Chain A
Amino acid sequence: MVKQPDDPVSAAVWDALAGVHDPEIPPCPITDLGIVEDVRVGDEVIEIDLLPTFAGCPALDAIREDCEAAVAAAVPSREVRVRFVTSPPWTSDRITPAGRESLRTYGVTPPASDELRTCPFCGSQNTMQESQFGPTLCRATHYCESCRNPFEAFKPKLIALEVRRPS
């Protein structure tokens, strides 16, 4: 999902963005989270489009400011404009394999489209969902029946995610 830059300035911008982290998921760079949608390098202005993971995420302003500061430091000669856009919508399958691994090391189970959630502590799949909601908008709370620990899993977010109808 991380795009390959095609010129030195773009490369510097992408490197700078790879040093920005979501404060609610500290180990995961935003480039691995898949929220950098577009980087446009002009002669005077660098424009960056970001996608919100969840629209109500309170970290969005902090991420935007961190991006501006990081890119301005890397390419001081140009103005930097960072904005959030809503199209295309961010989906959880934009998280890179490296991003999924960093979630796991942080103790958050990466998103999965099936019902199985692997416990990040003991690796068991004998787990149950406690709630669709958790300490942040992007995480749900689960419980491991094997090691008896509560844990969190990143919510799957997919366009095709079907609303569960009553059976």
Chain B
Amino acid sequence: MRIGDSPRLLLLLAMADDELILGHRHSEWTGWVPHLEEDLAFSSIAQDEMAHARLLYGLALDSLGDEWDEDRLALGRPPSEYRNAVLCERPNRDWGYSLARQFLYDTADDVRTQALLGSSWKELTEILTLVRMEEAYHLDHARTWFRRLAEGPVAAREHLAAGLESTLGEALAIFEPLPGEVALLAAGDLPVANSELLAAWLAGVGEELEAVSLDYVLERHSKVGDMVPTASGEMEDEGPTLSVPGVERVRGRWVHRGGFAGAGGRAGKHSEDFAALWGDLTGLYRAHPGVTW
């Protein structure tokens, strides 16, 4: 049975699935991060993100039939009904990659949730007020390490830069237009269009990259789009391209010129990496529906 496609539901699922899927990736660092403090950090951030997904799923359940519950919503959908951005489902690769992704995702999530505080949907603004108080710690973590790696030894800076090059293109697609976005904007549920959110985020990230002289990653990053890293981490080696799809610097400000790499998540289209993640995430639920502790 399909879950339905009301604009409000798809707005919630986009955000909740981002948090759930990236939270799952972060949780894969538990026990494996190079040092203890970061093990605690990624584990805690994962725990927060899954809790935020839970709050948003709870709001979604208000408009769904009795056959839906929290577990079914989180774990009982086929892959094509998950609406997370493709960026969130990519395997962790190395810690520099994970940190770069956390930086790009959480800065984007900050822009998105800040704007949604102005939504006419009261229950959503209440949840996001709470969520943002906890996300402040994620942002602080991301920015602290972003600066520390960027200004650190050459190896650290290179790991960060490589992570940013690999993730920037797909990070743009966090702001891929939502199905039903026109209706969301008309109703005031979504107060700012995704295209405007993207412009604000890209300009801000551009400034943060320029502050540590890493803005070159916006011009030279690994090619993404149809060519995707596989679950084994292999990538086609076609060398760097000269521009991120649709990004250029205009009068000192990075702007989006249209087009997304790795788009499709908001429409339920995912990379092959999602299949393995979905299998891990939902395996217990599918084998034992309704199981409890």
Report how far A91 CA is from B143 CA in the complex, Å. Answer: 24
- Could you mark each residue 128-157 of chain B with 1 if its beta carbon is under 8 Å from any beta carbon of chain A, else 0? 011101101101110110010000000000
Report how far A129 CA is from B143 CA in the complex, Å. Answer: 16
Question: Given the known A-B contacts A54-B51, A56-B48, A133-B141, are A141 and B133 also in contact in the complex, defined by CB atoms under 8 Å?
Answer: no
Is B126 an interface position by the 8 A CB rule?
Answer: yes
Q: Is the CB of B40 within 8 A of A134?
A: yes
Q: Is the CB of A86 within 8 A of B136?
A: no
Residues of B within 8 A of A89 (CB): 126, 129-130, 133
Q: Is the CB of B52 within 8 A of A55?
A: yes
Is A131 an interface position by the 8 A CB rule?
Answer: yes
Q: How many B residues touch A, CB cutoff 8 Å?
A: 31
Q: Is the CB of B44 within 8 A of A133?
A: yes
Residues of A within 8 A of B141 (CB): 132-133
Q: Is the CB of B130 within 8 A of A55?
A: yes
Residues of A within 8 A of B47 (CB): 56, 58, 137
Q: Is the CB of B133 within 8 A of A159?
A: yes
- Write the nearest CB–CB distance from B124 to chain A, whole angstroms: 11
Q: Is the CB of B126 within 8 A of A87?
A: yes
Residues of A within 8 A of B140 (CB): 132, 163-164
Which of B137, B147, B208 has the most CB atoms of chain A within a 10 A radius of its CB?
B137
Question: Given the known A-B contacts A87-B126, A89-B129, A159-B133, are A133 and B41 also in contact in the complex, defined by CB atoms under 8 Å?
Answer: yes
- Could you mark each residue 48-78 of chain A with 1 if its beta carbon is under 8 Å from any beta carbon of chain B, else 0? 0000001111100000000000000000000
Q: Is the CB of A166 within 8 A of B211?
A: yes
Report how far A137 CA is from B140 CA in the complex, Å. Answer: 15
Residues of B within 8 A of A164 (CB): 139-140, 143
Report how far A58 CA is from B127 CA in the complex, Å. Answer: 18
Q: Is the CB of A166 within 8 A of B143?
A: yes
Is A145 an interface position by the 8 A CB rule?
Answer: no
Residues of A within 8 A of B44 (CB): 133-134, 137
Residues of A within 8 A of B226 (CB): none
Residues of B within 8 A of A133 (CB): 37, 40-41, 43-45, 137, 141
Residues of B within 8 A of A137 (CB): 44, 47-48, 134
Q: Is the CB of A161 within 8 A of B136?
A: yes
Q: Which of A118-158 contact B (CB under 8 A)?
A: 130-135, 137, 141, 155, 157-158
Q: Is the CB of A55 within 8 A of B51?
A: yes
Report how far A159 CA is from B125 CA in the complex, Å. Answer: 13
Is B54 an interface position by the 8 A CB rule?
Answer: yes
Question: Given the known A-B contacts A55-B55, A56-B51, A130-B37, are A163 and B136 also in contact in the complex, defined by CB atoms under 8 Å?
Answer: yes
Report how far A54 CA is from B54 CA in the complex, Å. Answer: 13
Report how far A158 CA is from B136 CA in the complex, Å. Answer: 10
Question: Given the known A-B contacts A86-B126, A157-B133, are A132 and B41 also in contact in the complex, defined by CB atoms under 8 Å?
Answer: yes
Report how far A141 CA is from B147 CA in the complex, Å. Answer: 20
Q: Is the CB of B133 within 8 A of A158?
A: yes
Residues of A within 8 A of B52 (CB): 55-56
Residues of B within 8 A of A86 (CB): 55, 126-127, 130
Report how far A118 CA is from B136 CA in the complex, Å. Answer: 23
Question: Given the known A-B contacts A132-B140, A133-B141, are A55 and B110 also in contact in the complex, defined by CB atoms under 8 Å?
Answer: no
Residue of A nearest to B127 (CB): A86
Q: Is the CB of B143 within 8 A of A87?
A: no
Chain A residues within 8 Å of B, Cβ to Cβ: 54-58, 86-87, 89, 91, 130-135, 137, 141, 155, 157-159, 161-166
What are 8 residue pairs bridging A and B, where the CB atoms are less than 8 Å apart in the complex? A54-B48, A55-B131, A56-B51, A141-B37, A161-B133, A166-B143, A166-B208, A166-B211
Q: Known pairs A56-B47, A137-B134, A162-B136. 13 more at Cβ < 8 A?
A: A54-B134, A55-B48, A57-B51, A86-B130, A91-B133, A132-B137, A132-B144, A133-B41, A133-B43, A137-B48, A164-B139, A166-B143, A166-B147
